Structure 1
Amino acid sequence: MRFGTPPSPSRGFTLIEVLVAISVMALMSLMVWRGLDGMLRTQSSLQTRSDEVRTLQAGLAQWQTDLDQLSELPGIPSWDWDGQVLRLTRRSAEAHMQRTPDGLNDTSSSASVRVVAWTWRVDPGRPGGGDWLRWQSGPLTQQADWQQAWGLAQQWGQTPNASLRAAQVQIHPLSGWQLFVHRGGSWTNPLSSDAVTPGAAPSGAANERRLPGQTTPDGLRLVLSLPPGPAGQGTLSLDWVRPTLSGAPS
């Protein structure tokens, strides 16, 4: 009696083949992880750049708005630049300021202005060594309140305390900034004698009311020095022209 041939045993993977397969899968996993990590890093970098650009754009838009809303009232300077801090008196967004012979004292309860200040402050911990900052007061309806806020704005720009710092907004890191005014058909340093407006009130008792050069200029040029960063680097210049000016400055 003849029996059939016994089946041959099935052959499995050798240890070397298993190790090779594991090595290939590990290499593929590493390549996939690196690809995902690179995509995530790129996305994070683009998001950071987008956030930085939007922040800078918002700051420039606020700068433009503050200047467009300058309030020129009797006995109240619309702007002042002391070489360190720019102070502005602007109409409040709550209501339109009405001009009256007595300044702010006799305006309606809904009318108000704000004191706004801009400065660049040294900060070694920030890119470029400093920050572009903005400060503003609350709505003001009385001239005495405006006078106090005007003084606080100058103090904030020079020796701010914790209370004044709490009201400031950090706009963007800067290496520095410059301002130029347009008067008499040319751009000049706002502290130079060329920027002085003839016929302004003398110093003394009216010093905080209308100093030479505190009348609203025809134009204002802002020059920002951007440090290396997501938003770019180099010099950024922005010109503002007084809305009531008839004819653009040359």
Structure 2
Amino acid sequence: MASIPLNRNGTTLAQRPTNHGFTLIEVMVAIALMAVMAAVSWRGIDALVRAQSYTQRQATEQSVLQTSMMQWQNDLEHMSNILALTPMDWDGKVFRITRESTRIHPTDAPSVVVVAWSDRLVNDQKYWLRWQSAPIASRAQWRQAWAAAQLWSQGQGGSTQGQEIALLPIIQWQLYYARGGHWSNPLSSTEKPDTGPPSFNDQNENDQDNQQPQASQYTAPNALFALPDGIRLQIDLASGQAFSGPLTRDWLVPTFGMTR
């Protein structure tokens, strides 16, 4: 029988323990692979974050656009029919509307507010803005708010008498009226509203008239007119948004076609 060689400690050569570790090259390769995987994962996470941010921005801008158009529609739908007051007026700079005020409680007394739509530069960008007065309870207060809305559109302090909000970045906007089946520039209209007995509270009107602000000379030659059959809003949205370019919104008076 052949003898098995022994070590000095009495163990055979086959029983010698072996310790296998990573070489320097293997460690460097592993580190390089981990770095590549980390870079790929980071780019994937960054793309997801960017996509989420872009989606949120688009959703926000779409919500602002929809809310603005709904508010525009709502202002026209709730236009006041009090004959003693001008229901609306467009002078090329500001579109003013006399509309019914929203009642917080059903028992609240009816009132109106003056709403104005105009544009203004905000941080070198033109914005479409909306202004609204406080609730009005007399014709004298309405005259004050009506003049304040025009002054506000010209940046002359009307914001202190109402609340404004910047809505959409735009390039320009324009209104057209429908009369007799044709769209035309409102400033070319020569129609006047029907007159009727005042139905608004005129208490202390003379005293309050003396306190109303004086509007500047920026007034259309035919500021008073009969309600048109419809109003067309053409607004050119600024670039760099979720929605940009021209946008058209038409509105017809509720009684359109009833007497035809």
Query: Structure 1-normalised TM-score?
Result: 0.82
Match of 1:38 in 2: 47
Mapped partners of 1:46, 1:199: distance in 2: 48
2:241 pairs, out of 230, 233, 246, with 230
**Letter aligned with residue 64 of structure 1:** Q
2:136 pairs, out of 114, 133, 140, with 140
Post-superposition shift, 1:17?
0.8
Match of 2:21 in 1: 12
SS of aligned partner of 1:172: strand
Match of 1:23 in 2: 32
Match of 1:218 in 2: 229
Match of 2:145 in 1: 149
Mapped partners of 1:168, 1:115: distance in 2: 12
Are 2:77 and 1:68 equivalent residues in the alignment?
yes
Post-superposition shift, 1:161?
2.5
Contact 2:170 2:238 in 1 (8 A): yes
Are 2:49 and 1:50 equivalent residues in the alignment?
no
Correspondences of 1:45-124 after superposition (within 5 Å): 45-94=54-103, 110-123=109-122
Contact 1:78 1:214 in 2 (8 A): no
**Letter aligned with residue 219 of structure 1:** G
Post-superposition shift, 1:68?
0.6
Gaps of 5+ in 1: 96-107, 202-207
Contact 2:133 2:161 in 1 (8 A): no
SS of aligned partner of 1:133: strand
Contact 2:152 2:158 in 1 (8 A): no
Match of 2:250 in 1: 239
Post-superposition shift, 1:93?
1.1
Identity %: 40
Q: What RMSD over aligned residues (CA atoms) do the two structures have, in Å?
A: 2.6
SS of aligned partner of 1:180: strand
2:169 pairs, out of 170, 173, 176, with 173
Post-superposition shift, 1:72?
2.0
- Size of the alignment, in residue pairs? 225
Contact 1:190 1:213 in 2 (8 A): no
SS of aligned partner of 1:146: helix
Mapped partners of 2:224, 2:153: distance in 1: 19
Contact 1:87 1:118 in 2 (8 A): yes
Post-superposition shift, 1:248?
11
Contact 2:234 2:247 in 1 (8 A): yes
Post-superposition shift, 1:165?
8.7
Query: Structure 2-normalised TM-score?
Result: 0.79
